[in-house]
Structure 1
């Protein structure tokens, strides 16, 4: 399974990619914005039929990030972008990945809704999600315990009918 955009290739993550995934996730520029998994949790996700774990590479073959989708088997036809982490920032890769995921989700799947949650202080990501058509749905106040305190999550989504307009 692959998704191609103008500058990027999203391909199935392999066991050999997990060191990169782990280090990208735990990088100081990413760790406060996304959940932290162990290598074993990522290995389990690679086997789960409801999850699509994709590595992001630029056209030069350089690993630039990863993304995790869930809900492939959801009877409510809702795909969830569980995680997106970009290692090489400042190139517009995040926005390009989001556009590619939305197109793939609605053109190659029966998805009715694509949704995500984002920490409420991650304004950079919220701006990117809004710019590709995601709509604010609400805030789950103090719903995520980060080990030291609680954080609020913003829920955003895009519906098939909004994509096709």
Structure 2
């Protein structure tokens, strides 16, 4: 499959109705813990966050959103807080993860890029593993869901791992 046309643009407050609608979509709710509008407003305004609209396709239509947190972390630990897309199975998630890893390591000077993912979200876990993330541990039954509790899997990639991955992609054998 050819790489999709994907770009990230900073979220504006006028985008928040779209953000909330994507987050509330029945296809996305089981895999995230939705935020209140004021939390998104804070993430748009606060410099420690980067909140982006994912635009995709030849017309760059809005397709979802992503949030980075810890952008000013003195320890160089940037978190992929959220990635929520409307269209799945088209390579958009992979394209976003690659753009965000590049942003974390090259633009924000991260030493560590990390995330947590619900244990039931096996599709996302497979994507993160294939993009170089390593499982660090589990926070057992740490989030309440509609049908009980779910565990969070903490995954990360270190700067030297990212550099090795980029070098391997540049020089396939």
- Rounded to whole Å, the distance in 2 between the matches of 1:143 and 1:29 is 21
Q: Distance in 2 between matches of 1:28 and 1:62?
A: 21
Unaligned runs of 5+ in 2: 165-173
Residue 58 of structure 2 corresponds to residue 62 of structure 1: no
Asked which structure has the greater CA Rg, the reply is 2
Tell which deviates more after alignment, 18-27 or 34-43. Answer: 34-43
Unpaired runs of at least 5, structure 1: none
1:97-155 per-position Cα deviation (integer Å, ceiling 9, x unaligned):
00111112111121000000000011000000011110111111011123652210000
What is the alpha-carbon distance in structure 2 between the residues aligned to residue 100 and residue 135 of structure 1?
Answer: 18
SS in 1 for 2:99: helix
Deviation at 1:62? 0.7
How far the C-alpha of 1:6 sits from its partner, in A, is: 6.0
Alignment of 1:82-161 (within 5 A): 82-146=81-145, 149-161=148-160
Q: What CA distance in whole angstroms lies between the structure 1 residues aligned with 2:107 and 2:81? A: 19
- 55-64 vs 27-36, greater mean Cα deviation: 55-64
Aligned pair partner of 2:23 in 4, 22, 25: 25
TM-score norm. by structure 1 comes to 0.93
CA distance in 2, matches of 1:151, 1:53: 26
State the partner residue of 2:75: 76
What is the distance in 2 between the residues matched to 1:130 and 1:25? 24
CA distance in 2 between partners of 1:29 and 1:158 (Å): 27
**Which structure is higher in helix share?**
2
Q: Are 1:45 and 2:43 counterparts?
A: yes
Runs of 4+ in 1 over 4 A off after TM superposition: none
Query: TM-score, length-normalised on structure 2?
Result: 0.89
